[in-house]
């Protein structure tokens, strides 16, 4: 049985667990060869092994341009180049505004915004050099719309990701590269369950139009659509996936 992503290679960052792992698995199920990338090399290898098939693991800190360049070179060596990029890797804090210092701010911006830029820079250069169309999907956050407390630097960085998404869509459309963003709501991932955010589900559910706890697969399904030819006429968009918590 053929899949919508047969013959394509996808890079998913932050794919050792949670939303990234679910996205990697879904893209592989749709036929893509998936490069599972994470700063946690053992976790990336475990995810790739669980996916099986042609999936392979990469270890990279996305805020390090040399590490990202090496990862893209390895994708080119092993699979001929990247067709789909999902920028999922990020740091999700829980820090009150009065405790936010410059070091925290810079770390969040370096990983959550600059890291997305670094991956987009390297990946779209490779795509255009190959002369092939491509798909970029950036994972932002519905906290940008909600102004969620205890996350000031994170909200600012994810707002930057949305802005970058719109700008790149304009810049890259002529090359057949679409760039879209997804803004998840609160998701019951491993990282969330191990953080203070796990205590927010009851409150968030009261705000949702659809009741229940968001799952990583809910985000993976939307990313798979944006990565496919079904979304070929769609770019520069931000798709909010939070059970209707934010309506706009």
Give the active site residues. Answer: 154
Question: For tokens 């906290």, what's the residue?
Answer: 143
């Amino acid at each position: 049985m053929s899949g919508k992503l047969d013959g394509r290679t996808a890079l998913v960052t932050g794919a050792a667990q949670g939303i990234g792992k679910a996205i990697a698995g879904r893209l592989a199920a749709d036929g893509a060869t998936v490069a599972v990338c994470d700063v946690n090399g053992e976790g990336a290898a475990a995810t790739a092994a669980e996916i099986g098939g042609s999936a392979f693991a990469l270890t990279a800190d996305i805020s390090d341009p040399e590490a990202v360049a090496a990862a893209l070179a390895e994708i080119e060596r092993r699979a001929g180049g990247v067709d789909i990029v999902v920028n999922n890797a990020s740091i999700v804090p829980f820090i009150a505004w009065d405790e936010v210092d410059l070091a925290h701010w810079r770390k969040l911006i370096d990983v959550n915004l600059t890291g997305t830029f670094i991956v987009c820079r390297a990946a779209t250069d490779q795509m255009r050099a190959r002369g092939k169309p491509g798909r970029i999907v950036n994972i932002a956050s519905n906290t940008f719309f909600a102004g969620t407390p205890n996350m000031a630097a994170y909200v600012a960085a994810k707002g930057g990701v949305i802005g970058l998404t719109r700008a790149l869509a304009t810049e890259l459309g002529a090359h057949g590269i679409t760039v879209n963003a997804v803004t998840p709501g609160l998701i019951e991932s491993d990282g969330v369950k191990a953080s203070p955010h796990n205590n927010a589900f009851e409150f968030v559910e009261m705000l949702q139009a659809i009741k229940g706890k968001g799952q990583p697969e809910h985000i993976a399904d939307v990313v798979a659509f944006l990565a496919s030819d079904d979304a070929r006429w769609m770019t520069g968009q931000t798709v909010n996936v939070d059970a209707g918590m934010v309506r706009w």
